Structure 1
Amino acid sequence: MTTIPGLIAPTSLVRLPSPDGFRVIGLDLSLTSTGVALPDGTTYRIKTRDRDGDRRLLHIRDSIRDDLADHRPHLAVVEDLPKHAMAAGITAKVHGIVLGELLDAGVPYAYVVPATLKSYACDNGRADKRDMAAAAYLAAGAEFAHDSGGDQCDAWWLRAAGHDWCGVPLFDMPQAQRDRLSKAKWPERFVQRDVMGAAA
């Protein structure tokens, strides 16, 4: 599997610093196009080909493994599988192999369902991809090239959600939207929004 230029290269135009050195990676997992937001704020997409079958899982795994080794995040925030989704079984394969990498690397992970992420970003659990992209631009001037599916944008918001929940927000948000994150599944060590010990 080869990397496709422009699809897997970082494309976010804004690199926000990680406050207090806290590093979060956002992962919008998919067998065909996984969105990744790295701890430095850049985003990229892991694009795979149908004809490679289940070997696509290895390509995704290897890319995530490299990211974990290079960036050593304190927390990963993963978009959870939607309930009753037709493609949930296929996406679950990706979740399994990526969660194995997170466990091997000792990186705790949180799950955020799509409706909660949309409510956090846009104050609307039914927001579409354009709404999410517009909210990212308004929040931090972020734009996402080659992201018609919204994978990078969702990963970017997942990273932002992790920072917000842990008390080191990247930008201002209405408190009502921040409160939506209480519906997500956070690792026990992060439930009190205290990362002082975790980021050491």
Structure 2
Amino acid sequence: MTTLFDAVPAATTAARPQPRIIGLDLSLTSTGVALPDGTTYRIKTRSADADHRLIMIRDNLRRALATHGPVRLAVIEDLPTHAKGAGITGMVHGIARCELADAGVPYAYVVPATLKSYACDNGSADKREMAAAAYLAAGIEFPGDLTPAGKGGDMCDAWWLRAAGHDWWGAPLFDLPAGQRTRLTKAKWPVGITRLTR
């Protein structure tokens, strides 16, 4: 059964209308989701559910898109480069991309090193540094999202992916140094979308 826990409410944003963007840190065991209002949560699955986990993730994304739409852009953490991880995570990417296509939502891919450079000015930042940067940028915390070893962080990554989408769109959620913002040019952004100009 899909469980949602450690939901983090949205931080207050500027009064001007914001584009409806979601962030997805896709994983077969714990997918991080950042909704258009900035709320984050995890889709947690159990290995005992085998391939049924894909259906749980698909159904959750379907509900999120229907409930929080219309979504203008989804920003997804790109696949890992190592073969086994890419294959397992690739299954989740496939079902997520199908749901986004069915809902008419274009999506972008951001590799982990680019996301870390954008958030922390350090392409090898760990999850704790990413969480600290989110706190400094917007005062947001992700309780229960990090293990003592600093692993996890799916909600934090999803939150930063959504923030990257806002930056690319031309509607940044907070101030960052220009050097960090330019790192987003390395991401794979959709074409043919009319964005705001800064």
**TM beyond 0.5:** yes
Contact 1:15 1:42 in 2 (8 A): no
2:99 corresponds to which of 90, 98, 101:
101
Alpha-carbon deviations, 1:95-133, whole Å to 9, x = none?
000100000000000000000000000000000000000
Report sequence identity in percent: 68
Give ranges in structure 1 of 5+ residues lacking alignment. none
1:177 alignment counterpart: 180
Decide which moves more: 13-22 or 162-171. Answer: 13-22
Structure 1 pair 120–139 and aligned structure 2 pair: CA distance change class (3 A)? same
AA at the equivalent of 2:185: S
Please report how far the alpha carbon of residue 146 of structure 1 lies from its aligned counterpart in structure 2 after TM superposition: 2.0
2:153 alignment counterpart: 150
RMSD of aligned alpha carbons: 1.7
Contact 1:19 1:170 in 2 (8 A): no
1:49 alignment counterpart: 46
Please report how far the alpha carbon of residue 83 of structure 1 lies from its aligned counterpart in structure 2 after TM superposition: 1.7
Structure 1 pair 195–13 and aligned structure 2 pair: CA distance change class (3 A)? closer
Alpha-carbon deviations, 1:4-45, whole Å to 9, x = none?
5x34xx224624368423110000000000000000011000
Q: Name the CA distance, whole Å, in 2 between partners of 1:89 and 1:119.
A: 25
Give ranges in structure 2 of 5+ residues lacking alignment. 147-151
Please report how far the alpha carbon of residue 67 of structure 1 lies from its aligned counterpart in structure 2 after TM superposition: 0.8
Query: TM-score scaled to structure 1, two decimals?
Result: 0.90
Please report how far the alpha carbon of residue 86 of structure 1 lies from its aligned counterpart in structure 2 after TM superposition: 3.4
1:141 corresponds to which of 136, 139, 142:
139
After the TM superposition, which parts of structure 1 deviate over 4 Å for at least 4 consecutive aligned residues?
A: none
Contact 1:19 1:168 in 2 (8 A): no
AA at the equivalent of 2:57: I
Query: How many residues of Structure 1 are paired with residues of Structure 2 in the alignment?
Result: 191
Please report how far the alpha carbon of residue 87 of structure 1 lies from its aligned counterpart in structure 2 after TM superposition: 1.1
Q: Name the CA distance, whole Å, in 2 between partners of 1:15 and 1:144.
A: 16
AA at the equivalent of 2:182: D
Query: TM-score scaled to structure 2, two decimals?
Result: 0.91
Contact 2:2 2:43 in 1 (8 A): no
